[in-house]
Structure 1
Amino acid sequence: MPTSKLAQAVTLEGPDAVAFAQSQFTSQVASLPDGQWQFSSWLDAQGRVRNLFHLARLADDRLLLLLRGGDATHFADALRRFVFRSRVKLNVLDECKLGTGESLPMHVVDTRGDVVRMGCGTHSLQLGARVAQDETWQLAQLRAGWPWLPDTALNEWLPPTLSLHRLGAIALDKGCYPGQEIVARLHYRGGNKRHLHRIQLSKAAMDGAELLRDNREFVRLLTVTTHSDSIEALAIMPDETANSMMQSTDITSDDGVAVRILESWAD
């Protein structure tokens, strides 16, 4: 998760901003009211998650995307290739800081001056040039199963692996968007064999690290947070591995990191 870094955020503005987002992203953007946000993602043609983000509708013709991992400039440059004749302008927000605000109902967006607050229930995310940066929101979001994607996890995982259906980031009742056929096939026919878990680690590890057992990867960490002498992480693991771990107290990696499942999320 980000540590004292600037927020990676992009705005989409113009008469076609919502229609363009509807055609590119996985959520039902067209039905999002002003002053609300939703989880959404942008997939590649193989259905893998290129970027995950909060998508907020600030006005009829203005959207704000707060990336949950990845670089905003790289994201905007890649997305511009698909603009063609759409009347939409993409802007990267420079010097935008991310911090924790007071509680605000889930999915509510509140703009005060140059500060945007996104309601997350028990807290809010604040974005702005003069926002005081802090990371107190990280543990609550980790425990809620809200993935934050390190660079090594971009363009790698399918939406059900990251539990994006549960977050409302995937719409199955809208027109085509990149990767839509893969999303529909996995939803209706199954086949996804990896899922998201909240785990406890006995030792500190880096975001995005691979944990090996018998020289084979059995856990891929997404984000790791330390609190009160405990280390928790969101991680991806094969269903077979998770089922085996459910039968024991923990499993130890080749480099001595004991892993225990605390919570699991299916599609």
Structure 2
Amino acid sequence: MPSRTTRPITLSGPDAAAFINAQLSSDVLSLGPGRWQWSGWLDPKGRVRALLQVARVADDRFVIVPRGGDGAVLANDLKRFVFRSKVTITLGDTRFVSDGDARDDMQAHEDEHGTLILGEGNASIYIGARDDNDAWLARHVEKGFAWLPDEALDTLLPPALSMEQLNAVSFNKGCFPGQEIAARLHFLGGHKRHLRTVRSDVALASGQALRINGRDAGIVLMHNEMVKTPMSLVVLDDSVVQADTLETEGARLHILSTFAA
């Protein structure tokens, strides 16, 4: 089964770190060479435009891996904010996401073929030409590492993707787009949608709306169909989760885990 694809975005130049730090939600300035971190690009209302993995492959060179969405659109939108910053933004070719061997957690390495390797401790993912191993998908569903379908873009707030638990949002680094809304949710709470893993009695589809009693109650982000009992990563309204088993229109869901905001 072919792996998912993405189009990495490379930012280089003496102002690359400061520029990315001002745009993304994570503390990019704390990222050392040879390391990667989770991050996001939010709109002014705090909604997640893109969920990202950001690797610092050299002092003045970063590679951003969009987890869903259109890399070309993201790259062009980032260029609008360059102004006088000394940073070059380059959109890469379409690359496959494949499973890799054990690498130190949060270690980033770019090999001689241009493949970006992102360590996860007991495993890794490869962003490159390989399209031969989708085993990472099951692991990311279980860990709550979301990949956003088009239907989820610009609709979810950071707590719904457990972004704080991933250290993808920092409130100590200065301003970034959507910070006011994200900070309000962080300090005052009140967000009632959470990321969850579920098993279903039928196959679900990424981007599928989960409906209960005629209204949308959530969305499927990722679906692992390589197991006998389908397992998915979803976002659900807390108000509809009354028990471990949930009846939606067309599917019965058994909730396995809920991720903190």
Provide TM-score, normalisation by structure 1: 0.93
User: In the alignment, residue 252 of structure 1 is paired with which amino acid?
Assistant: E
What is the SS of the residue equivalent to 2:180? helix
- Which range moved further: 37-46 or 6-15? 6-15
Q: Judging changes above 3 Å, is the alpha-carbon distance between structure 1 residues 134 and 235 closer, same or farther for their aligned structure 2 residues?
A: same
Structure 2 gaps, min length 5:
none
CA drift of 1:261 comes to 0.4
User: In the alignment, residue 245 of structure 1 is paired with which amino acid?
Assistant: A
* Structure 2 partner of 1:203: 202
In 1, are the aligned partners of 2:211 and 2:248 still within 8 Å (CA)?
Answer: yes
Count of aligned pairs between the two proteins: 260
Structure 1 stretches (4+) deviating beyond 6 angstroms? none
Q: 2:105 matched to 1:106? A: yes
Structure 1 gaps, min length 5:
none
* Structure 2 partner of 1:79: 78
What is the SS of the residue equivalent to 2:5? coil
What is the SS of the residue equivalent to 1:171? coil
Whole-Å Cα distance in 2 between the matches of residues 58 and 152 of structure 1? 31
User: In the alignment, residue 204 of structure 2 is paired with which amino acid?
Assistant: A
User: In the alignment, residue 243 of structure 2 is paired with which amino acid?
Assistant: M
Q: 2:128 matched to 1:128? A: yes
CA drift of 1:8 comes to 2.1
- Give the alignment of 1:124-163 within 5 angstroms: 124-129=124-129, 131-163=130-162
What is the SS of the residue equivalent to 2:147? coil
In 2, are the aligned partners of 1:8 and 1:70 still within 8 Å (CA)?
Answer: no
Whole-Å Cα distance in 2 between the matches of residues 86 and 48 of structure 1? 25
Whole-Å Cα distance in 1 between the matches of residues 103 and 72 of structure 2? 29
What is the SS of the residue equivalent to 1:185? helix
CA drift of 1:70 comes to 0.7
Whole-Å Cα distance in 2 between the matches of residues 218 and 260 of structure 1? 15
Percent sequence identity is 37
In 2, are the aligned partners of 1:101 and 1:124 still within 8 Å (CA)?
Answer: yes
Whole-Å Cα distance in 2 between the matches of residues 132 and 205 of structure 1? 23
In 1, are the aligned partners of 2:7 and 2:94 still within 8 Å (CA)?
Answer: no
RMSD: 1.4
User: In the alignment, residue 121 of structure 1 is paired with which amino acid?
Assistant: G
Whole-Å Cα distance in 2 between the matches of residues 206 and 254 of structure 1? 14
What is the SS of the residue equivalent to 1:227? coil
CA drift of 1:252 comes to 2.0
